Chains A and B, each alone.
Chain A
Amino acid sequence: MSGILSPQAWEKVWTFRGTFLLGLGNTIQVALLGLLLAFILGIIFGLMATGENKVLKVISRVYVELIQNTPLLLQLCFLYYAFAFSSHSLGILVSGMISLGVYHGAYIAEVVRAGIEAVPKGQFEAARSQGFSYVQRMFYIILPQSIKIILPPLVNQVVNMIKNTSCLYLIGGSDLISLTYSFVTGENTGGAYAPAYILSGVLFFCICFPLSTLASVWENSLKKRERRVVVQKKTALEGRV
């Protein structure tokens, strides 16, 4: 009955396809909201890490290290249960969104920091010598140059976030993985393991694969462009000699 070749199992999955789509919808919803939070945190803490203020730098470092060196599951459970038992329950979706946002925000902060630090020091100095304020410097001169470096790993973070919605299972979420699990273990629906997990996997893949492909294509074209600039410079030099 659970077999990958069993027509009944596939039929059951098909009948309950709404469950899977609902799970997918919830996963995307949590991921999108989490992403929004992660972007905001990532940009703020990434800028703090590269700014001049030492206190802000330390705060940013503490945030990143704390989040990157403890499991996401722990953070999620902490947030959910800490609030649940203080009678201010946040709810599963909100807890999920916040902890995914905070978790990936720390990684995005590192991505942003690396992107900004990859811009040569002379660019900051030229901008300062012209009298651009901090925000203007970042906006007109630094971020446009680092965005190309930032984008590919940023897209990878999006992919990871979508996959990490599966952590919601632990707090009783209704994301794709959690619903798949309750489907295959359910009293009325149980049993169709292989088809259920295949479908669930296909759904994840359909969303994540285009994104990660986009990221690697982006990265490659970036590398090619850099090589082209180097070649251009070289030929320009040789041309003059």
Chain B
Amino acid sequence: MISNMIKLENVNKYFGDLHVLKDVNLTVKEGEKLVIIGPSGSGKSTTVRCMNYLEEPTSGHVYIDGRELTHRNKTALIRETTSMVFQQFNLYPHMTVMKNLTLAPMKLHHKSKKEAEELACHYLDVVGLRDKAEAYPTTLSGGQQQRIAIARALCAETKIVLFDEPTSALDPETIQEVLDVMIKLAKENITMVVVTHEMGFARQVADRIVFMADGQIIEEGTPDHFFENPSNERVKQFLGKIIR
């Protein structure tokens, strides 16, 4: 039986008086590729960030790999189970690419320097940037930085990788190199949750797509369902605007 990897149960999130997530329920199965789409400000980032407690839900429950995520256990549980790729890459600028990739494996996952470096080289190969191991992040292009950030996430070898608009900060001509890496990853048994506006990618990779508006999931289904005959009027409008 395929188990639930991520489960959000009646999750509400307020920023002050602003009700950003309204009773969100969502499950992601092991190995599933879930894509979240929706208009700006609808709560996509907040949803994903609740999955690794970068935002703590105001109420509701988050379960990761069968265990409830809490304020107390978040650091340990996240360390074991999830990694994240950010819109702005967030590589550590004072470290070389190699150090960026080996820091967590060595300090958090108890790998020796040699093991960590072998791991790093492996994932640098996966993202096609083996020759950049000794470079500093700021000397790389945006697309390269994001591929390094993906490699860094993979070095933790967690079952879950979260992506929050990984291509939105990139020049158009480098978007595809990042998407290609993600398409490659999607062939593995990693559980991926991806917030994106790249509909081609969503269609190609997603097992399931959820559409958010005003802090709620208003439609959910397979890519075919979504792109062929979405039932919700807002989804139709949104897709009409974004695809052409």
Contact = CB atoms under 8 A, between A and B. Distances in A.
Interface in A106-164: 120, 122-123, 125-126, 128-133, 136, 140-141, 144-145
A229 B140 CA distance: 11
A220 interface: no
B75 A233 contact: no
Interface residues on B, range: 20 to 34
Given A232-B139, A233-B138, A131 B75 contact: yes
A144 B141 CA distance: 23
Interface in B164-196: 171, 173-174
B84 A123 contact: no
Interface stretch (B34-42, B100-108, B120-128, B226-234): B100-108
A88 interface: no
B54 interface: yes
Interface in A12-48: none
Contacts of B139: 232, 236
Chain A binding surface, main DSSP class: helix
Contacts of A133: 75
B54 A140 contact: no
Interface string B70-98: 00000110111011101011111110000
Contacts, number: 70
Contacts of B104: 130-132
Contact of A132 (B54, B91, B107): B107
Given A122-B90, A140-B103, A145-B94, A129 B138 contact: no
B107 A126 contact: no
Interface residues on A, range: 20 to 34
A9 B47 CA distance: 79
Given A130-B83, A232-B139, A125 B54 contact: yes
A194 B79 CA distance: 67
A122 B82 CA distance: 17
Contact of B78 (A126, A129, A232, A236): A129
B166 to A, nearest CB: 13
A144 B94 contact: yes
Nearest to B86: A122
A142 to B, nearest CB: 10
Contact of B108 (A122, A131, A236, A240): A131
Interface string A65-79: 000000000000000
Given A229-B138, A236-B139, A125 B86 contact: yes
13 contacts: A120-B90, A126-B91, A128-B75, A129-B86, A130-B103, A130-B104, A131-B104, A132-B79, A136-B108, A140-B103, A145-B92, A236-B139, A237-B141
Given A129-B86, A236-B140, 18 more contacts: A120-B90, A122-B90, A123-B92, A125-B54, A125-B90, A126-B90, A128-B78, A129-B82, A129-B83, A129-B162, A130-B79, A131-B76, A131-B108, A140-B107, A229-B138, A232-B139, A233-B138, A240-B173
- Top 3 A-B pairs, shortest CB-CB distance: A131-B79, A126-B90, A129-B84
